[in-house]
Amino acid sequence: MAENTGCTHDCSTCSANCSSRAPQYDAPHKDSHIKHVIGVVSGKGGVGKSIITSMLSVAMQRRDYKCAILDADITGPSIPKAFGTKGDILSTGDGLIPLATKTGIKMISVNLLLEEETRPVVWRGPVIAGTVKQFWTDVVWGDVDYMFIDCPPGTGDVPLTVFQSIKLDGVIIVTTPQDLVSMIVGKAVNMAAMMNIPVIGLVENMSYVKCPDCGRELHVFGKSKAEEVCAQYGIPFIGRMPIDEKLASLIDHGVIELMDNDYLGSTADAVINFCEK
C-alpha cells in the first residue's frame, strides 16, 4: 500500500498514530538537574501566556523553589522585558549559562542573544524549532525545581517540538473570557491528549477589572465561561487573573518581581500538588 502523503503537519486535527507524534525526548545538558517541567500554552495568541509564566515563576520562587524560564516564543519573546533582564549569554565551551533575574530565576530567551531587542527574528520553522531544542540541551541550567516553558500560540512546529522533545510533567492552558474560548481551549486540550501530556489546569486571564471607586468587578470581555469550559473538557480550573493597571506598569518597567498580589496563588498550589502527587 502506498504511503499516505497527505499529512498537514497539524497534529491537533489529525487522529493518525504516526511516527511524527511519537515522543523522542532529548536529555537536558549533563549539568542540568531539573525536577519538574511545566508548559504554558494556548490555542491562540494575545491571551497572556508570558505574563502568567512570569508571575507564576515569581510566586514559586517566593515559596523557596528554584525556578527557571525557557522562553520558547522565539519570534515574540517578552520574558526578559518583564523582568528587566539584560546581559550577555556566556559560554563555558561546554554550554550556555542562563541569565538570572534579581531574585535568582534563571532564564534563556532569544532576545538575550540579539544585539538589539527590537530586531525581528525572521527564521523558518525548522530553525526556530532547533533553537528551542538547543535551549533545552545546550544550556547549563544547574539545579532547578520548576522550569516553566513559555510556548508560542497555536499547535504548530514549536509547541509540537516542545511536546515531543522535552519531557513535560504537564501543561497549563491560558485563555480569556470570550465566546470563542471553548474552541481555542479545545485545540490545546486535544493536542496535549494526543501527545499524552496531562493538563494541570486552566487559567483565565483578563477575567475582570476592578472599579477603583466602588471595587465592583467589571467583566469587560463578557461573563466568564471558564468553569463551563473546564467541565466540558474535564480539566481543573486553577486561576483567574484580572486586568490590573499596576501589574501592567510593573511589567513595562521590568520589575515584575515587585508584584504584591497573589492572583496566581491557587495556580501555584495546583502545580505543586500535581507535581508532588
Residue 261 half-sphere exposure toward CB, CA atoms < 13 A: 17
* DSSP string computed for 145-213: EEEEEEPPSSSSHHHHHHHHHS--SEEEEEE-SSTTHHHHHHHHHHHHHHTT--EEEEEE-S--EE-TT
Q: Is 254 exposed, middle or buried (0-12, 13-18, 19+ CB in 10 A)?
A: middle
Instruction: Give 15's pLDDT tier (boundaries 50, 70, 90).
Output: low
Phi, psi values for residue 238, rounded to 5°: -120, 5
Residue in 34, 6, 127, 60 with CA at minimum distance from that of residue 267:
60
Instruction: Give 212's pLDDT tier (boundaries 50, 70, 90).
Output: confident
pLDDT digits (tens, 9 = 90+) for 67-113: 999 999 887 788 999 999 988 888 888 899 999 999 999 999 988 88
Q: What percent of the chain has pLDDT over 70?
A: 87
pLDDT mean over 7-28: 64
The predicted model scores a pTM of 0.88
**pLDDT beyond 50 at 2:** no
Identify the bridge partners of residue 34 per DSSP, sorted by sequence position: 144
Lowest mean pLDDT among 178-182, 186-190, 244-248: 178-182
Q: What is the pLDDT of residue 70?
A: 96
pLDDT digits (tens, 9 = 90+) for 218-232: 988 888 888 999 999
* Rounded Cα distance, 186 and 31, in Å: 37
**Amino acid letter, residue 136:** W
Q: What is the pLDDT of residue 3?
A: 45
**pLDDT beyond 90 at 265:** yes
DSSP assignment letter at 88: P
pLDDT digits (tens, 9 = 90+) for 117-155: 666 665 677 788 888 999 999 999 999 999 999 998 876
